[in-house]
Amino acid sequence: MNLAARQQDNADNSFADADREAVYRAIFTRRDVRSQFRDGEIGDAVLARLLAAAHHAPSVGFMQPWNFIVIRDMARRRAVRDLFLAARQQELPHMAEDRQALYRQLKLEGICESALNLCITCDRRRSADSPLGRWHNPQMDLYSTVCAVQNFWLAARAEGIGVGWVSILDAEALKRLLEIPDPVAPVAYLCVGHVSEFARRPDLEQARWRGRLPLGDLIMSETYGGEGEETLKAAAAGNQVP
């Protein structure tokens, strides 16, 4: 895939209409997949494309702090699922009592049902020789790694591959299980696989855990809480995906 060699179709450097719409479609139809995984392996060629997309994420100081641990072994995945179950039990008492019943019903992982798991890590040593972009904000390596996660996720949607981010995990226990050294931080544990469908709306929205906030309510002018930008807010309302 030599997309870099393609010429822009428009004089203003914008994509052709079909290409632009495809980008927005990937963004708006991406889902955090939990229960729609089906049988079928992901070929190495497809997985390599997804990882290449992740590797081309922006990174502060061009540090590229990420690594990608591909996890196929079912015994190891069951061990990760045990970590999830333990962490979920620890999280439950901190929920409001009127939400605990709904929380118990939610499907929050597909660790063993997906084709493979992927742990994306951040090697915090990788930019040790340069403070560029991190001197005032040393968390930028972590933020850069999250950009790689998003690239992977959007590319996966374009390939018809589902991705679910399992965040309910004890990071230190996960590091021990995956033999991740101390200077390296696990950022995302992903379940990856073919799916029967992509839900029309996010699972948590469908379960009435929380609805999508109106974009116009989140736009401010000049300062936090600043009033204004009414024309922009109206345009944002027109672009809210139902």
Name the CATH superfamily for 30-211.
NADH Oxidase (3.40.109.10)
pTM of the model: 0.91
Q: For the sheet with 116-123, list strands across it.
A: 66-71, 116-123, 184-194, 161-165
pLDDT of residue 8: 65
pLDDT of residue 94: 87
Task: Walk along the chain (242 residues) and give the pLDDT tens digit of each residue.
Answer: 666 556 567 889 999 999 999 999 999 999 999 989 999 999 999 999 999 999 999 999 999 999 999 999 999 999 999 999 999 999 888 888 888 878 787 788 899 999 999 999 999 998 777 778 777 888 999 999 999 999 999 999 999 999 999 999 999 999 999 999 999 999 999 999 999 999 888 877 887 888 999 999 999 999 999 999 999 999 998 876 65
pLDDT of residue 193: 97
Contacts of 13 (CB under 8 A, 6+ apart): none
- Report d(CA 109, CA 128) in Å as an integer: 35
Phi, psi of 206 (to 5 degrees): -65, -35
- Report d(CA 65, CA 149) in Å as an integer: 12
Domain boundaries defined on the chain? 30-211, 212-242
Amino acid letter for position 134: R
- Report d(CA 93, CA 91) in Å as an integer: 6
- Report d(CA 173, CA 190) in Å as an integer: 16
